Amino acid sequence: FFFYVVVEMRVCLLLLVALLFTNVHCGFEVYMSIDDFESATSPLAVIIPPGSSVTQSFTNSTSTRINNVLGGERDLIVTVEGGDVGNFMSASVQNGKWQSNSPQHASGFSTLQYDGIEGSTSISHTGLDCLDITGNGLADGFLLQAQATTPTDFKFYVYGYSGGEASVRQQVTTNEQTYYYIPFDTFNGEVDFTCVGAIQLTATIQSYSQFLVDTFVIGTYNPDQPSPSPSQSVLPPGISHSNTPTTTKRPNSNSPSPSKMGANVCMSSNDCRSSDICVSYDCIDGVCVSYENDSCCRSVNDCPQIECEMAQCNNGVCQYMPIGCIDSHSHPDETENPDDNGLSSGGIVGIVIGAVVIICIVCVFLGTVLIVYKRKQRNSQSTSVYDAMISDM
């Protein structure tokens, strides 16, 4: 009971600040907090690895046991579905908000699951033990406060204890803190909201974008009250109990404009840009945080050498082109033939060829000597016959 009172007081303070800008009284009573985002979940990042195809997706997830979240455990999931090799997305819960970022060309979605203590990202329909999120009629919808640098789709899922699911989509279109009231009767699907097993909230992440969520509660909306009682919190105008989710903005007067920000201060990841192609930035808690991309190259010297392929560094990505080369298997080096006594196959072939050449030279020389000898012998014989003939005359 004390936890719910503290949560209601926190939401009341946030909404009373909005009242200062609107001067309109609209009632919203908080019945239950799903997550106040005060207990942290360390940042998760997903990097698109080299050699990825456009049809592949990559996921990173973690489960954090927290006493003051619905079901006692928060599952955080980040999935990249498209983008350039080496680019990444991240998500975290810290300092009272859930945020996801894509500072580069990478897109996908980020998800929060509340389905009890089960240590996995698979939906457990029995994780919340047939929880009545209507509070026996005391609650009739979700209240979300969010902002995004680009239009972002949030999809709410409610899973029944005995099976089935219901869902509804709400788009966040502004980068100002905005309340979104989503009535239970706007959900599509067959689920008994008085016997719920799990709740999930999924948000899309576009390239070069960021979103923040700092309020996620269940309660009921009451029409305008002439003088709201102390037990009621207030909302800015524009909220109505209709067949479609409605929104209301709260000015964010304390946010600095990009022109006034310092080099390390940011409102979104778009404000963090780097001239170094291998350094990426993420805007975390208003500060630009840099990430070194290990798979990136600044020059061809950063690319690993691959046999029979020529490396090239194009836009931070190592690319390879096949080139002609001697097959190492047909001409093994001396380390592959320890029995050659230090001689490679090339050396042995050279010795054999040299020996053959020498033998040929010797044979030619001997043949020449033999021919000369034979001719001299013939000349000697002819001279003797001539002398004999002269003497007989």
Q: What is the pLDDT of residues 317-351, one digit of tens each?
A: 888 777 655 554 444 444 444 444 545 566 677 78
pLDDT one-digit tens code per residue, 78-128: 999 988 888 889 999 999 999 999 988 899 999 999 999 988 888 999 999
Over residues 267-285, the mean pLDDT reads: 69
Which run of H or of E encompasses 21? Answer: helix 2-22
Q: Kindly tell me if the per-residue pLDDT of 25 is higher than 70.
A: no
The span from the CA of 132 to the CA of 139, in Å, is: 10
Task: Report the Cα–Cα distance between both ends of the chain, in Å, rounded.
Answer: 159
pLDDT one-digit tens code per residue, 116-174: 998 888 899 999 999 999 999 999 999 999 999 999 999 999 999 999 999 999 999 99
What angle is formed at CA 209 by the lines to CA 283 and CA 36, rounded to 5 degrees?
65
> In this structure, what token pair is assigned to residue 334?
């001396």
> In this structure, what token pair is assigned to residue 212?
């923040």
Helices (H), 171-277: none
Residue 248: which pLDDT band, with cuts at 50, 70 and 90?
A: very low
Cα distances from 44 to residues 78, 115, 219, 353, in angstroms, run 7, 20, 30, 66
Which run of H or of E encompasses 346? Answer: helix 345-392
User: Could you tell me which of 312, 269, 313 has the C-alpha nearest to residue 291?
Assistant: 269
Check residue 379 and give its pLDDT.
66
Single pTM value for the model: 0.55
Q: Cα-flanking dihedrals φ and ψ of residue 19, to 5°?
A: -60, -30
Residue 236: which pLDDT band, with cuts at 50, 70 and 90?
A: very low
The span from the CA of 217 to the CA of 35, in Å, is: 7
Cα distances from 142 to residues 45, 100, 164, 179, 183, in angstroms, run 28, 21, 19, 10, 6
Complete DSSP assignment for 362-377: HHHHHHHHHHHHHHHH
The identity of residue 135, as a single letter, is G
> In this structure, what token pair is assigned to residue 361?
């030279």
Which run of H or of E encompasses 212? Answer: strand 209-222
Q: Kindly tell me if the per-residue pLDDT of 316 is higher than 70.
A: yes
Strand, helix or coil at 259?
A: helix
